[in-house]
Amino acid sequence: MKNDIPKAVLNSYDIGNIQDVKVVTDGLVHKTYTVKTATGNYILQKLHPVLASKAIGRDFLFVTRFLTQEGFPTPQAVLSKKGDVVVKVGNDAWRMQTKLKGKTVHVLKDLKMARACGEIYAQFHKVMDGFPYKFTSTKILHETEKVYATFLNAVKKGMPEEVAQVQEEIDFLTTMLPTYFLPGDVPMRVIHGDPKISNILFDLNGQAKAIIDLDTCNRRPLLVELGDAFRSWCGGREDDLANRFSLPIFRASWLGYKKGATDMMTKQELQYVPQSIGTITLELACRFMTDYFEDNYFGWDPARYESRREHNLARARGQISEFMDYQKKLPAIKKIVGVK
């Protein structure tokens, strides 16, 4: 598998003799490898062009350094021999970081683990609330209105036969998402940006040990982070056409988060937590539908789908299914949070 990585990339780092290289299939965007050497284990990523800027690399470096300084477990950026975070070889950009020990899960079913997810993100948000740094990246996630506009544009440019095949999904998203836009006057806080369940590492006892994939951190409303977190933690596999929203998982994870972070939240933020879950679930469905038309962003599983477009359509339908179940359970979700 090492042959998939140009020698010039591996030679850019002072990490000792390489003993083994394996592909990691978990990521949706970057192509990721584990690299085992005599000096330790590392993660090497061929970055998606959208996330390959020097600005994102610089932000990643400062975020991980700050978290380490504050005692929060985090991967460390591994600089090249030239001191760069991002290494360019040909048309590709690469980044290396230390590999942390821990188990990854893709569907959260254990209540103890759910509470641990809430607790570690509460700790992360409180630590990062004191981050004295101005982000330089202009790549911002969870700008829902822009995501929606991009989706509408992709539909407009789509071939008539492509549009006809997914007209039901288009009608659903164009009807529902505008009614779930969040207020624009909430505080801006440092968020992870991609708090899906597979970005949390657990130990053998089910305790959350660390948060990984820190290249999407930026200042955004806390609501978009919480909406995405609970969407992921409380749902099933993203492309499950019968995806459901788990109230027991939500209750456990919310109690974990509430224990550590609600003292920093405003009343307005708290009020909109239940709605935010629906907002980001629909937003992600729009992103998957956009890639159904544009076919150029998300990774896909060729063992299960014939094309990226087919996989993205399944993902979009899975998110719509989760949203519909979430909507039925919204009164219970509000009761758990303690809002009307």
Q: Is the pLDDT of residue 28 over 70?
A: no
27 pLDDT band, cuts 50/70/90, is low
Mean pLDDT of 214-243: 96
Q: Is the pLDDT of residue 217 over 90?
A: yes
Mean pLDDT of 164-172: 98
Which range is least confidently modeled, 9-23, 27-41, 143-157? 27-41
Mean pLDDT of 5-16: 93
Q: Which CATH architecture has domain 2-98?
A: 2-Layer Sandwich (3.30)
Q: Is the pLDDT of residue 185 over 60?
A: yes
Residue 194 pLDDT: 94
Q: Is the pLDDT of residue 8 over 70?
A: yes
Mean pLDDT of 17-32: 81
Q: Model's pTM, two decimal places?
A: 0.92
26 pLDDT band, cuts 50/70/90, is low
Q: Is the pLDDT of residue 1 over 50?
A: no
Q: Which two tokens stand for residue 143?
A: 């700008």
Residue 141 pLDDT: 86
The residue extents of the domains of the chain are 2-98, 111-337
Q: What is the DSSP letter of 44?
A: E
Mean pLDDT of 23-52: 86
Rounded to the nearest integer, the mean pLDDT of the chain is: 94
Q: Which CATH superfamily is domain 111-337 in?
A: Aminoglycoside phosphotransferase (APH), C-terminal lobe (3.90.1200.10)
25 pLDDT band, cuts 50/70/90, is low
Residue 325 pLDDT: 98
Q: Is the pLDDT of residue 66 over 70?
A: yes
Nearest to 58 by CA among 32, 84, 30, 96: 84
Q: Which DSSP string corresponds to 123-178?
A: HHHHHHTT----------S--HHHHHHHHHHHHHHS-HHHHHHTHHHHHHHHHHGG
Residue 50 pLDDT: 84
Q: Is the pLDDT of residue 132 over 70?
A: yes
Q: Is the pLDDT of residue 170 over 50?
A: yes
Residue 138 pLDDT: 87
The answer to whether the beta carbons of residues 289 and 153 sit under 8 Å apart is no
Mean pLDDT of 248-252: 98
Mean pLDDT of 41-68: 93
> How far apart, in whole angstroms, are the C-alpha atoms of residue 151 and residue 169?
12
Do β-strands 92-98 and 40-46 pair in parallel, antiparallel, or remain unpaired?
Answer: antiparallel
Query: Rg of the Cα trace of the chain?
Result: 20
Residue 323, SS3 per DSSP: helix
